[in-house]
C-alpha cells in the first residue's frame, strides 16, 4: 500500500524476518515502552499513520487485561506528537473498558474523525476493538 517510495516501520518484541524484496520495511525489535525503541522510531519521522495491533500478554483476568490494554494505548497516544504530522491517522487495538472509553474522548479531541470498529472475526465475548482515527490535530 505504501508503494516503492513509502516506508513501513514495525516494532515487535520478537524477531521478524522478511524477504529482501521488502527493502522499504524497517523492523525494530523492541518494546514500545523502551527509550531505545522510541529513539529508533524517531529516526524515521514523520509517519503518515500509526497502526497498532499490539496487545498485552493476557492473564485471563478481564480487569488486569483491560488495564494493560489501556496502558499500552496510553503509551501509543503519548508518542503521537513525536510521530504524526497534522492530518495523520491512527488505528489502534484495545480491549474496551471504562478507561478506554475515557481515552476515546481524548482521541476525539485530537482527531477530526474517530470511530470504533469490531472485526467480524472477533469472538463474541471478546472486548477487543479498534479505534480508527484520522485528521490528527496536535494539541
Catalytically active residues are 93
Question: Among residues 137, 84, 88, 130, which one has the least CA distance to residue 109?
Answer: 137
Cis peptide before 38 (omega within 30 of 0): no
Output phi, psi for 100, to 5 deg: -65, -35
Distance CA 138, CA 46 (A): 13
SS3 of residue 83 by DSSP: helix
Count of residues in the chain: 139
What is the gyration radius of the CA atoms in the chain, in angstroms? 15
Distance CA 38, CA 28 (A): 10
Amino acid at each position: 500500500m505504501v508503494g516503492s517510495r513509502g516506508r513501513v516501520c514495525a516494532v515487535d518484541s520478537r524477531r521478524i524476518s522478511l524477504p529482501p524484496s521488502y527493502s522499504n520495511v524497517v523492523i525494530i525489535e523492541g518494546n514500545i515502552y523502551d527509550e531505545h525503541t522510541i529513539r529508533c522510531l524517531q529516526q524515521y519521522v514523520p509517519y503518515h499513520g500509526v497502526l497498532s495491533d499490539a496487545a498485552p500478554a493476557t492473564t485471563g483476568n478481564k480487569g488486569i487485561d483491560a488495564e494493560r490494554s489501556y496502558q499500552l494505548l496510553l503509551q501509543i497516544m503519548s508518542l503521537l506528537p513525536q510521530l504524526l504530522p497534522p492530518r495523520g491517522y491512527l488505528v489502534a487495538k484495545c480491549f474496551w473498558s471504562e478507561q478506554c472509553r475515557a481515552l476515546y474522548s481524548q482521541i476525539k479531541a485530537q482527531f477530526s474523525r474517530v470511530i470504533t470498529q469490531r472485526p467480524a472475526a472477533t469472538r463474541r465475548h471478546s472486548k477487543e476493538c479498534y479505534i480508527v482515527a484520522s485528521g490528527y490535530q496536535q494539541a
